[in-house]
Amino acid sequence: MPDIIYPFEPFKIKAVERVPVTTREERETVLMNAKGNVFKIPARSITVDLLTDSGTGAMSDTQWAAIMIGDESYAGSKSWDTLNETAKDIFGLEWVLPAHQGRGAEHLLFSVMLDREIKPVIPGNGHFDTTSGHIDWAGGIGVDCIGDHASDPESDYPFKGDIDPEKLRKVIEEYGVDRIPLVLITVTANTAAGQPVSMGCIKSVKKICDEYGIPLFFDAARFAENAYFIKTREKGYENKTVKEIVREMFDQVDGAVMSSKKDGLVNIGGLIVVRDGELYRKLASMATLFEGFPTYGPYLSDFARYSMKTT
């Protein structure tokens, strides 16, 4: 079934939130008091907040209703069942583990997969700041292998988030396979202003990873947005649905970490999805300590089950 193109936004706005409207003088005073540090500016003084897109989308009436009917059982939650089934349907990976948000998922993945003793190296197309922080915390090094198009504002290359295969090979050869537990592709590339990654790039990186026996993972916060860019910009995908493209993207990887606060369109939540059951068991053991029981209801499933279905 082809994607539906609406002549207007097919929804009604049921709630509004007031925002402050400040004068130039007031903004100058706020900036001076914060010494130019935007993280120290009170949110009540911000009219247009571009600091993040995490959790800033409006949730649907169905999502809000899910809060009230969600199963908050500590284990075996029916909300978990729905999330699990939906994530498997979208991503096609067998093992699903919820987290409170993306950085919680990163913490679990790197705690399990990175061995501090070998000073691990994680190549990618520009790691997000929390990703870099977790890699550093786990004793690793993040290496940027993004293509040169990303830093060229005059370039009209449609996929500036692409990894340069030759840069990736060079990193693997320089550091050695034993020090590289995984390659991480961020879709879309956050540190490159959210530029998309092509399917061709994903498949070429997969081929290199298979050649060296290195697992390939996504940081998948904007997986649907990236799929839409593939549909509109990459030859051969114009007649495929976003969901079909998402499945083809995830067919190339061994797992993914994801914040549900972007394309998931929820206020909080995250996921890890993996193919390997043994890796899942290790992650789930760690999750019990830091995130909650793997089939725990309250902190994620009530929201994500509806947002994932409507993505």
Domain that includes residue 163, residue range: 64-310
* Token reading at 270: 């995250």
Angstrom distances, CA of residue 87 to CA of 23, 83, 146, 163, 203: 46, 6, 28, 26, 22
Distance between CA 140 and CA 83 in Å, rounded? 32
Q: Are 163 and 145 in contact (CB under 8 A)?
A: yes
Is residue 9 assigned to a domain? no
Is residue 260 assigned to a domain? yes
CATH number for 161: 3.40.640.10
Is residue 17 assigned to a domain? no
Is residue 30 assigned to a domain? no
pTM for this entry: 0.87
The 10 Å Cβ neighbour count of residue 60 is: 15
Tell me which H or E stretch contains 98: strand 95-99
Angstrom distances, CA of residue 159 to CA of 20, 54, 252, 262: 37, 23, 18, 20
HSE, side-chain direction, 13 A CA sphere, residue 233? 17
Q: Hey, what amino acid is at 123?
A: P
Q: Are 110 and 130 in contact (CB under 8 A)?
A: no
Per-residue confidence of the chain (311 residues) as pLDDT tens digits? 456 677 888 888 888 888 899 999 999 999 999 999 999 999 899 998 888 877 777 888 888 888 888 888 888 888 888 889 999 999 999 999 998 888 889 999 999 999 999 999 999 999 888 888 989 988 999 999 999 999 999 999 999 999 999 999 999 999 999 999 999 999 999 888 899 999 999 999 999 999 999 999 999 989 999 999 999 999 999 999 999 999 999 999 999 999 988 888 788 888 999 999 999 999 999 888 888 888 876 544 444 444 444 44
Is residue 114 assigned to a domain? yes
How far from the centroid of its chain's Cα atoms is residue 102's Cα? 7
Q: Are 171 and 145 in contact (CB under 8 A)?
A: yes
Is residue 182 assigned to a domain? yes
Distance between CA 162 and CA 231 in Å, rounded? 16
| Tally of domains in the chain | 1
Tell me which H or E stretch contains 62: helix 61-69
Is residue 153 assigned to a domain? yes
Is residue 7 assigned to a domain? no
